[in-house]
């Protein structure tokens, strides 16, 4: 099951069924099925609090992924700051809805084991995000 929750923000507007099918399809591309995945949409302050409390990081970020996956089943909590998504969209010159989908699938890619800590792995992550976005029709 894929769940969508909010903390201190309004639920973003997207086609829930279509997005869930897309997420399942991308997971399957990596040999996984989707178990329990919860997206928590929040603001910058909530994201910072989560980052501080659970990761001991004192900075703002767009997505935090907590991975509870097994070998074949993706499960986790994905916190997304809608404030940061808006900021990112402005910075790269895209629309909010597209940047939101990029960040949502970014969290799923983390659950499949994809990292982004080095410039090389970040470039691969971006390519995988682009490929996944091309499948969202």
DSSP conformation letters of the chain: -EEEEEESSPPP---HHHHHHHHHHHHHHTT-EEEEEEEEEE-HHHHHHHHHHHH---S--SEEEEE---SSEEEEEEEEEHHHHHHHHHHHT--HHHHHHHHHHHHHHHHTT---SSHHHHHHHHHHHHHHHHT--
Q: How many domains does the chain have?
A: 1
Average pLDDT over residues 103-122: 97
Which CATH number do you get for residue 6?
3.40.390.30
Q: How confident is the model at residue 38 (pLDDT cuts 50, 70, 90)?
A: very high
* Whole-prediction pTM: 0.95
Q: Which domain holds residue 118?
A: 2-134
């Amino acid at each position: 099951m894929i769940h969508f929750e909010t903390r201190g923000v309004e639920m973003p507007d997207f086609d829930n069924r279509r997005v869930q099918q897309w997420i399942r399809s991308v997971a399957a591309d990596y040999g996984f099925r989707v178990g329990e995945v919860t997206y928590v949409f929040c603001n910058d302050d909530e994201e910072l609090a989560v980052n501080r409390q659970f990761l001991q990081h004192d900075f703002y970020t767009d997505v935090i992924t907590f991975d509870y996956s097994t070998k074949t089943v993706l499960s986790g909590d994905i916190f997304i700051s809608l404030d940061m998504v808006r900021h990112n969209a402005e910075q790269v010159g895209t629309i909010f809805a597209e940047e939101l989908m990029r960040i949502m699938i970014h969290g799923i890619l983390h659950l499949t084991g994809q990292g982004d800590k080095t410039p090389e792995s970040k470039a691969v992550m971006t390519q995988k995000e682009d490929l996944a976005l091309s499948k969202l029709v």
